[in-house]
Structures are given as C-alpha cells and as structure tokens.
Amino acid sequence: MSKRRKRKALPTEPVRCEIEKLSHDGRGISHCEGKIQFVDGALPGESVMAKYIGSRKSFDELRATEVLTASDERVSPPCDFADLCGGCSLQHMTPDAQVAFKENTLREHFAHFGGIEPEQWVAPMRSPGLAYRRKARLGVRFVPKRDSVLVGFREKRNSFLADIDRCVVMDPRVGERITALRELLYTMDAYRSIAQVEVACGDDAVAMVFRNMEDLSPGDREKLIQFGQARDLHIYLQPKGPDTVHRIWPESAGRANERLSYRLDEFDVTLQFHPMDFTQVNAEINRPMVSQALEWLEPQENERVLDLFCGLGNFTLPLARRSGAVVGVEGDEAMVVRGRENAELNGLNNVRFHGANLQGDFTSESWAAEGFDKILIDPPRSGAQEVCEYLAAFGARRIVYVSCNPATLARDAGVLVAKGYRLVRAGVMDMFPHTTHVESMALFERQ
C-alpha cells in the first residue's frame, strides 16, 4: 500500500518579490528561480516582502506583509478589514487603476479569442465605490474560543469568516448593522444553527433571510421580529430549501405580497422582486446600464425585440416602452412568473414572457419562429455559446450582449463574428468596485 507523499513545508521567512503585473484575479505576479509567484495585496512596479501561504508544482502563493517600494496607484483601503476580508480584493488600488485593470482584462480576452477588437472602445461606466452593494449572502458562525458570533464574508483564500463589525461597500441599511446583527444572533437560542443571512435591498425596503437549520423557539422568532420592527427590515426564515422561504415580518397575506421593488425612472418602470430573486447588486450602475443598452440597440416603435436570459424584466420592460413588441425568454420559471407580474404592474401589453432551455437548440419554440429586428442577451457567467450559434438565424440587425464574464463574452463574440456580425463597440461597467469582477457590454451589427 503506497503512502501519501507529505507536502513540503512552506518557507517561514518573508521573501522579497518584484511585482511585474497583475493576474486576472488581481494578484501581483513575480518570479523566483523561474517559478511564478502570485502575491496578494501587491501592485505592478512594487517591491514587497511577502509570506508564503501556499505552494503548487508550477506556482507559489504569497501575501504581501510589507511594501518596500509603493506604486503610485496604491491607496489606503477605505475599509479597516480590507487585508482580512475576502469580500473585496482591490481596495488598496486607486479607483482609476481598478477600472483600467478591468478594461485591460477585457482587451486581453478579446485578443486571446481570435484576435477580436471592437471598432470603438467606449468610456467605462463608473459608480461610487462605497455603499453600493444591495445583494449579499452573509455567513454566520459561532466561535467558542471567542465566545462570539461572526457575521460576514470569508477571509481571503480560506473558509474562516472574517471578524468584521461593518461593511463599507454594502448598502448602509445593512453594512452599518453588522454589529447589531451579531449581537442579535448571540442572544438567540439558535445561535449555533443559523447558517447564513441572505440580504436583499430595494429602493423601498431591505430584507434579511435567516437560514435556520432547526425550528426556532417562540422567543427567537419574537427577537427577529423585534429586530425588524426597530430597523424597518423585512424578516424571512428559510428552514429548508429555497421554496421554504417565508416572511414573518411584516405579516403578509400570502407569498404574492413578499416583494421589494426598485425604479427605472427614465422608462417609468417599477420592478418588484422576491428577496431570493436575482437582481443587479449596484443600482447606481444598473440604471445607466439599462439606458446604454437601449441607446445601443435603438429599438423602434415598429420593431420586434428579443430579450434572452431576461430575468424579471430588468431590460425587457424598458424595451417594451420603446418597441412595438418584446419577447422575454428565461430558463427559470419563477423569473418568468415575476416578469409577467411586472408587466402587469406597469400596464405593458406589448411584452410576453416565455420559459425555455437556452442551453440547447430553441429554434423550434413557438416564439422563435416570429422573427426579431433586434436582440438583447444577458447570460450568466457561463455565457451563451450555444445560443450564439443560433442567433444568426433570426436575422436581427443588432445584438447587444451584456456580460458578467469577459472570457465567455470574448468566446461568444468569436462565434457571432463567424456568423456574420461585426463587433462595433464594447466597454466595461464597474458593477463591483474594489473587486476583480468585470461587467461589460458589447454591440454587434450584422454585416
């Protein structure tokens, strides 16, 4: 029986690293004796002392412990927990440098996939870097050694929860209440069995969904209700799967009333959503993002528009205000229902929502035979390679692609170009400031 080979012990003394550039995940890159070193917390052009935190055959992982020569792009993080918390990774970098890094990431991915280059690069879409995040899943853990309940995000590159008492990037209605939330959970009988708190913020209200792995005592339920009452929060419980989520405060007559909402004033549209629904995390980017998408698509009153991966109607309903007819297609049936609810709420009769599997050939669907002049697509991180193979069959003159992953956007752009479309323009949107997440938009026109 073979014995498992023991891992070689990591060096304990910090080493000097000369940082050459950034990786796509925001770590500094240096080399030592031909081996790549990924250094957390380091910027290009810097000399840093760094401690080993991991080692693989082809690369080492380190964390900067001292900056010997600082980059002009280095700043003091706005958050006291930036070095520990894994929620953000670029707070030590100026906002301008962060956006430039994201632009370069998109450029490199386009170049990697067939040497594609947009005819025009548009200016980045920016937002305030703090108090922007409206959606989050906060971990909860009781730590016996500290006799304390932690609430927040994981530490950088491990599974431990960071010990934080506030979060400056989150909506203040949540970010400034981390300490109060910790104190509440510590006083509950279920302090060991609350696994996480899902947070969702609308324009009108904030919801907290407590994942209770055991039934709560009447006293615990009352504490949660009082917490919500005192802070104008909607309180939900999730005893099992997602379909068990239900509101306990304010009291509601049925699930249909369990909604938050946000406005898109430019299009006179109100969108309602359940706290567990997908919505864009950054309202200050979402509004101009929707406006830019419609500006690029140029929908006309006599045109038919197709919105793929439409969700609850974030783009679909504004499109319905400007187009003759809109069809929204989504793979999640719950979102199809939500889209129809929102169309009715806004009095829009020229829009229809359909459920369909968008990972395969959907050309036999009834809606697909109707023909479309323009197409908007907003897929998940995995992209829409299969969808793009079929889009040319619609003959749409313009396609706007909204992406949350530059790698899959570049890959899918290659498919569309091969199908006879030009990549007219592209640009990044800083939906997640202080992180390496790259949101972008691209416009394609038929040759």
- Burial letters for 131-169: b for 16+ Cβ neighbours within 10 Å, e otherwise? bbbbbbebbbbeeeeeeebbbbbebbeeeebbbbebbbb
> Is 404 tagged catalytic?
yes
- What is the distance of C-alpha 96 from the center of its chain? 20
Q: Which one of 79, 88, 167, 404 is the catalytic residue?
A: 404
Kindly give, in sequence order, each residue whose CB lies less than 8 Å from that of residue 83, ignoring residues fewer than 6 positions away.
41, 77, 156
DSSP-derived letter for residue 123 is P
Place of tokens 């082809």: 58
Go through the chain and tell me how many residues it has. 447
Kindly give, in sequence order, each residue whose CB lies less than 8 Å from that of residue 76, ignoring residues fewer than 6 positions away.
92
Over the Cα atoms of the chain, what is R_g? 24
Task: Report the C-alpha gap between 279 and 342 in whole angstroms.
Answer: 14
* 304-308, strands of its sheet edge to edge: 120-121, 421-429, 439-446, 398-403, 374-377, 304-308, 325-330, 351-355
For residue 97, which of 116, 74, 79, 118 has the smallest C-alpha distance? 74
**Helix 178-187 and helix 218-231, axial crossing angle in degrees, nearest 10:** 160
Task: Report the C-alpha gap between 292 and 298 in whole angstroms.
Answer: 10
- Burial letters for 282-313: b for 16+ Cβ neighbours within 10 Å, e otherwise? bbbbbbebbebbbebbebeeebbbbbbbbbbb
- Phi-psi map region of 395: left, alpha, beta (phi>0 left; psi -120 to 50 alpha): left
- Strand-pairing partners, residue 21, are 29
Catalytic residues: 404
